[in-house]
Structure 1
Amino acid sequence: MAEMDTRTPRERYRTQVRAEIKEHAWEQIATTGATALSLNAIAKHMGMSGPALYRYYASRDELITELIRDAYRSLADTLHSASLAGADLTVLAHAVRGWALAHPQRYLLIYGTPVPGYHAPDAITLISSEIMAILLDACAALPSDSPATPFDAHLADHRDWADGHPAPPAVLHRALSFWTRLHGVLSLELAGHFTGMGFDPALLFAAELDDLSAHRGDGGPGD
């Protein structure tokens, strides 16, 4: 049985308007970028006055925070679903790429150029930590007999970013290698830098996955 909506008509209307504002914000980000996001432009597009829109979002930063939170939550939920279905690291990586291609503006907002002067609140940091925890769990499940590296030793004492995850330094290293290299490929693809180069970015992404798996699993050249 569907849960009854106990909100008042005013509350439902407010939720609807806020959702519409966010949709217009995403459209604006797609054409002009997050740094040019303008609440007054959104208000004009919606046939509202600037002061009227500010009753729904008190500031540009508040709107950006909600957009970033939505983007991180969407990606985290995608990876949670894949993980619960038994996805390994490779499947999770392809899930990230699939999400990014389906939502390029959301991806670039959270992994592209930071918005000048903006600082994410702790609630958003917690969601990004969920994503990293899923990646760390998947990396920990992979077999590895790689010798320790100087960076492994460094990570033994520099692991705050892992938010208390018990993974050993070698797993932290593997996770960072996957995260940085795969985001590098995705960022270039979504920004259009592969356009006209004549190769399939999906195959490059898969090749990077294969290379990372081999190098961190058998003591190969990546160690």
Structure 2
Amino acid sequence: MAAQARTPRERYREQTRSEIKEVAVRQLAAGGIEGVALLRIAKEIGMSGPALYRYYASRDDLLAELVLDAYAAAAEAVQAVDTGGGGRAALFALTRAYRAWSVASPHLYLLLQGTPVAGFEAPPESVLKARSVFGPFLSVFAEGRPLAGLDPLLAEFQAWLRDDPGVTEWVRQWTGLSAGDPAAAVALTGAVMTWPQLHGTVGLEVAGHFTGMGHRPATLLDVQTALLADAFQLR
């Protein structure tokens, strides 16, 4: 069934909301989250403050949409990677793609992974958006053969799969594996282990903490990725 055509009023509203978000992203890039101000946005686009509040009820309402958009952008960058060959090469390609997006869009990365904003809670659907970023990692690790040292963590993730239908569906969506398949727990363990590895290195780089040190952040991330691949004996 064809989608119902939008009315001129609906198209105008969507266009205005997009314009508001574009200005907010520029403010975010210039001054961080604290630099996002609805009244300044209204002034820039030639709108009164009360009129803008008809589109976004509060700054947190606007930030919530920016968070969802940022996750979507990160997911698009990661999912664009060709992982057809699987194994180590795919894992390297994914971690490098995520780092490249983060370094190119540090304001969006910090919106997602930086210091939490006091009183702001990300919308519930951000969990699904975040999982879409790390979905491709699940399929890579599903073929892994984890070393014995990972057994305690594997056991905990097996229990998580058993008890959380949302996680079960996430793994199934990306791997086709059921919760009872041992490979499902391997996939989940690898993907979750990748998360702190990535953010530990990428977060420090984006925040400028590696400045003046004698290494390239890209090299550090590659070495960490290799160690992770070795732990799962990816080929």
Q: Same fold (TM over 0.5)?
A: yes
Between 191-200 and 154-163, the greater mean CA deviation after superposition: 154-163
Q: Which residue of 2 aligns with 1:207?
A: 223
Q: Does residue 131 of structure 2 align to residue 115 of structure 1? A: no
Q: Deviations over 1:89-146 (max 9, x none)?
A: 221111111211222211111122222222233322222222233221111133x251
2:24 and 2:36 in contact (8 A); partners too: yes
Q: Which residue of 1 aligns with 2:190?
A: 174
Per the normalisation by structure 2, the TM-score is 0.79
Question: In the superposition, relative to structure 1, how do residues 24 and 151 fare at CA in structure 2: closer, same or farther (>3 Å)?
Answer: same
Q: Which residue of 1 aligns with 2:156?
A: 154
Runs (5+) with no aligned partner, structure 2? 172-178
For 1:122, the aligned partner's letter is: P
What is the RMSD of the two structures over their aligned residues, measured on CA atoms? 2.7
Q: Which residue of 2 aligns with 1:221?
A: none
For 1:206, the aligned partner's letter is: D
Q: Matched residues in 2 for 1:141 and 1:83: separation?
A: 16
Question: In the superposition, relative to structure 1, how do residues 180 and 162 fare at CA in structure 2: closer, same or farther (>3 Å)?
Answer: farther
- Report % sequence identity: 41
> Which structure carries more relative contact order (alpha carbon 8 Å, separation 6+)?
2
How many residues of Structure 1 are paired with residues of Structure 2 in the alignment? 215
Runs (5+) with no aligned partner, structure 1? 219-223
Q: Does residue 167 of structure 2 align to residue 163 of structure 1? A: yes
Question: In the superposition, relative to structure 1, how do residues 105 and 85 fare at CA in structure 2: closer, same or farther (>3 Å)?
Answer: farther
2:146 and 2:231 in contact (8 A); partners too: no
1:4 deviates by 10
Question: In the superposition, relative to structure 1, how do residues 53 and 198 fare at CA in structure 2: closer, same or farther (>3 Å)?
Answer: same
1:188 deviates by 0.5
Between 92-101 and 10-19, the greater mean CA deviation after superposition: 10-19
1:129 and 1:163 in contact (8 A); partners too: no
Between 165-174 and 132-141, the greater mean CA deviation after superposition: 165-174
